[in-house]
Amino acid sequence: MRRRITTFFILLAITSTSLSEAKAEVKTFPCTGGTYSVEMPAAVLTKSNGCTGGLTLDPSVKSIGVDAFRYSEITSISIPNSVTSIGDSAFSSSSLSSVVIPNSVVTLGYSVFADTQIESVIISSALSKIEAGTFAGAKKLTNVKIPVGIILIEDAAFWRTALTSIVIPPTVKKIGQVAFTGTKLTQVDIPDSTQFYSNTFSENSELKSIIYCGIVLAAGGSGLPTTPTCPPDRKAKLDAAVKAAADKAAADKAAADKAVTEAATRAAQDAKKLTITCTKGKVKKKVTGEIPKCPKGYKNLQDVYLTFQAFSNCKLYKKDSYLGGVTLEDSGKTLTFSGVGKYTSVANAANFSDFDCALAVLKVPAYVKTQIDITRALDGMQKATWGKISAFWTYHPDNGVNISFNSK
């Protein structure tokens, strides 16, 4: 029985190995001097087997793997649009002298073209960063175009190349340490929004001009070969942008503080209550509430006035702002609105809804409402009387409507 179990597991292991090998089929493709291997079904080019000279990759290849052509003697390569990634050190220390990285490539590993003979390169516009050491030690590389869309240029990306000029696109947010150390750059103009380190351009004896208005990040090692200069027009724009940002921050803070203050004021106003005096013979009792009412048998002597009723029922006692507020005077006989509709943004000022509520309680006739609506500044003081109520008002575009209601 034990022998049968052992035999079963041996067969299972052999079968699993066979299936794994079947799943990871390796295809070979011819090249000058040998072949190159592609692992299927992932279509990853894993290694060169003696390839030399020019090479055109098969369109079935989807990825060039780590170290695939490292130390190889290929001098040029045509990469098909089927390729989406190139692994670490894929061409490092090879004889490669030129390459076009198609826009299908979205991932580029570390040191891909380090220590090559590369002289010219076209970089994929689909990349978002140039990885660390990508072209490090490529001593014949004199010119490269960094596409718009690149956000990061990592450490040592162009370390000790023969670059004589470089254009940094405005999309680049950061350039890593020693990224351009030991090149042949003579001048560089860096967008002010781009950050870089004090050693990013170190050991560049021919670099005489760095145009930059931003702040250089501190780093170890030798520093910049020359102090960056900031053109007056760029400095003016930068100062204006800094001021605009500071002004916006101050305005945002002021708006936030105002909102907090207004919220606190509204909360205090919402919590505010009205206190009335209730009388029963010689007995007096104070009652406080939102719309306070006297206990049975007690009377509020002000309640006979519609002006008081409007003040209480419409909760106008909460509208006590000195701008656009409401007051009740003469023992409840006089109700006054100041600046109706002019200060609605003030938390404790009366708004149109408050005014409409008061008009309803005061039983203001329609013709009087119309008269109030059409009053002009040049009309001066206006007056209307109905029932036991008299109203006096003026209007000015700077102050809104100022109106007093008097009860008899």
Tokens for 281, please give them: 């013979």
Tokens for 197, please give them: 């380190």
In angstroms, the Cα distances linking 106 to 86, 102, 258 are 9, 9, 48
pLDDT digits (tens, 9 = 90+) for 90-146: 999 999 999 999 999 999 999 999 999 999 899 999 999 999 999 999 999 998 999
Q: How far apart are CA 28 and CA 57, in angstroms?
A: 11
DSSP string, 9-73: HHHHHHHHHHHHHHHT-EEEEEETTEEEEEETTTTEEEEEES-EEEEE--TT--EE-TTTTTT-E
Please give the average per-residue pLDDT across 188-217, as a whole number.
95
CA-based torsion, 158, 159, 162, 166: positive or negative:
positive
Q: Alpha helices of 176-305 — where are they, by DSSP H?
A: 232-271
Would you call 348 helix, strand, or coil by DSSP? coil
Poorest-pLDDT segment among 13-22, 255-264, 361-370: 13-22
Q: Is the pLDDT of residue 274 over 90?
A: yes
Q: Enumerate domains of the chain plus CATH numbers.
A: 23-236 (3.80.10.10), 272-300 (no CATH), 305-407 (no CATH)
CA-based torsion, 280, 282, 283, 284: positive or negative:
positive
Q: How far apart are CA 79 and CA 109, in angstroms?
A: 16
CA-closest candidate to residue 152, choices 128, 188, 122:
128
Greatest Cα pair distance, the chain, in angstroms, is 122
pLDDT digits (tens, 9 = 90+) for 152-194: 999 999 999 999 999 999 999 999 999 999 999 999 999 999 9
Query: Against a cut of 0.75, is the pTM above it?
Result: no
Contacts 24+ apart (CB under 8 A), 126-130: 127/101, 128/152, 129/153, 129/154, 130/154, 130/157
For helices 352-361 and 306-313, the axis angle rounded to 10 degrees is 140
In angstroms, the Cα distances linking 135 to 76, 107, 224, 378 are 16, 15, 21, 81
Q: Tell me which H or E stretch contains 196.
A: none
